[in-house]
Structure 1
Amino acid sequence: MSKIGVGGLFKRVPPDDEGGLTKDEMFDLMSNHRRRYIIHHCKQEQDPISLSDLAEQVAAWEKDKSIAELESAERKTVYTSLQQTHLPRLERAGIVTYDDGEVELTNQTERLDIYLDIVPENSIPWGVYYLGLSGLSCVVVAALWAGVLPTDVIPTLAYPTAIVVAFTISAAYHTLTNRRYRFENLDHPP
């Protein structure tokens, strides 16, 4: 169980499941861009990463520069911040292991994936899309029941078949889009 401080008093908060972090703790961890950058880079590498390499990449993303363009002070500032603040925090949460200058993700990171989904700008939420598709399907079925849609020229089963095909294509596209926008598949972390 976690403790949340409130006015000097601590209240025990149960985790979402056995031994895990609460949603609030996960959102709090992910609220800092450097911690998101750490997780993003570690997911891309999939092997342990040296702290110096990690700090260089995080600094490059922050400054929107290539690693070669970074100044020593920029590297050092990020290195110190990661070493003293962010890596210990992620390690206490069980997200990374940090030992002998090497950083590696733990299996606990998989629980964060649902909170790391990236929704592209100007996109319609999938829930709204499927609600609209369901509404349209209901209108088509109701029109069939009412005898409004032609069934002489177009076979009756063509309408429900079109509905099933629309849902299948939508679900396939939804799945592919989600994979493309997975946190670790982006070039630059959000």
Structure 2
Amino acid sequence: MSLDQATVDQQSAPSLSRNEIYEILSNPRRRYSLHAIKNEDGTTELSDVAEQVAAWENGKSVSEITSKERHLAYSSIQQNHIPKMERAGIITHDSGTIELTEEARDLDVYVDVVPGDSIPWAEYYLGLGAVSLSLVAAVWVGVFPESVPSLAWAGIIAVLFTASAAFHAYQNREMNLGSDGEPPELRDGR
């Protein structure tokens, strides 16, 4: 098969199913590996990934991990996780160099880490919507003084939703695989 034909076949190949994505993301070592690769702009060395994953798993810095910890992570990632992610089309692996594919970019939507001290955003927006509707109803029945224009209340609601959405977008970016620092699931403590 020619290189051009391989490119065409790869582009026309179906995307991963939800079950395949959940299977890939079900293992912490694979999630940590993907996070480490994304931290390096999508291309890095297997040895660097293994060191970083071993450090995260053991709650240490890379310089503090032992050769045994490094070896355990390296062997598992090289023999099990890299081949599985490569078969899924999420990465390519050649002579120790790992590179994310376009397919890997679609995984972020499946990783929604909610910090332990937070409520899910769907519940937050449901509550904000209920408060907004209550405010509109109170303005409509004349609970508030008429000296405050109705448009001011609409402005307050718009500001609340805009500020909430902006913070939500910021938090989601921080909680994605590949954001700076530790993987999102390790940030709340071990």
Q: TM-score interval w.r.t. the shorter chain? A: 0.7 to 0.9
Specify the SS of the correspondent of 1:157: helix
CA contact (8 A) 1:118 1:183 kept: no
Task: Using the TM superposition, give the Cα deviation of residue 186 of structure 1 relative to its aligned residue in structure 2, in angstroms.
Answer: 4.3
User: For residue 163 of structure 1, what is the aligned residue in structure 2?
Assistant: 157
- Mapped contact 1:29–1:90 kept (Cα < 8 A): yes
47 and 25 in structure 1: CA distance in 2 versus 1, 3 angstrom threshold? closer
Unaligned stretches of 5+ residues in structure 1: 1-17
User: What residue identity is the alignment partner of 1:41?
Assistant: A
Paired residues, number? 172
Seen in structure 2, the aligned counterparts of structure 1 residues 50 and 156 have a Cα distance that, compared at 3 Å, is closer
Equivalence for 1:146: 141
Does residue 176 (structure 1) correspond to residue 170 (structure 2)? The answer is yes
Q: Which moved more, 1:175-184 or 1:40-49?
A: 175-184
Q: Which amino acid in structure 2 is aligned with residue 69 of structure 1?
A: E
> What secondary structure is seen at the aligned counterpart in 2 of 1:183?
coil
How much has 1:44 moved relative to structure 2?
0.2
Equivalent residue for 1:31, pick from 5, 26, 34: 26
Query: Within 1, Cα distance between the matches of 2:55 and 2:24?
Result: 21
The residue identity in structure 1 corresponding to 2:173 is: R
Change (3 A) 1:118 1:186: farther
In structure 2, what is the equivalent of residue 185 of structure 1? 179
Give the TM-score of the pair, scaled to structure 2.
Answer: 0.83
Q: Which runs of 5+ in 2 are unaligned?
A: 1-12, 186-190
Q: Tell me the alpha carbon deviations over residues 72-124 of structure 1, each in whole angstroms, 9 at most, x when there is no partner.
A: 22222222211111100000001110111111111111110011232111212
Instruction: Measure, in 1, the Cα distance between the counterparts of 2:60 and 2:143.
Output: 62
**Separation in 2 of the partners of 1:181 and 1:64?**
19
Residues 8-157 of structure 1: pairs in structure 2 closer than 5 A: 19-151=14-146, 153-157=147-151
Report sequence identity in percent. 48
With a CA cutoff of 8 Å and minimum separation of 6, indicate the structure with the bigger relative contact order.
Answer: 2
Question: Do the aligned residues in 2 keep the contact of 1:117 with 1:183 (CA within 8 Å)?
Answer: no
Check 1:150–1:26 CA distance in 2 against 1; reply closer, same or farther (3 A cut). same
Please tell me the root mean square deviation across aligned C-alpha atoms, in Å.
1.7
Structure that is richer in strand per residue: 1
* 3-state SS, counterpart of residue 184 of structure 1: coil
2:31–2:177 Cα contact (<8 Å) kept: no
Sort the Cα spacing of 1:106 and 1:155 in 2 relative to 1 into closer, same or farther, 3 A: same
What do the CA deviations read for 1:53-89 (whole angstroms, capped 9, x no partner)? 2212211222222323332222222222111111000
SS at match of 1:104: strand
What TM-score does the superposition give when structure 1 sets the normalisation length?
A: 0.83
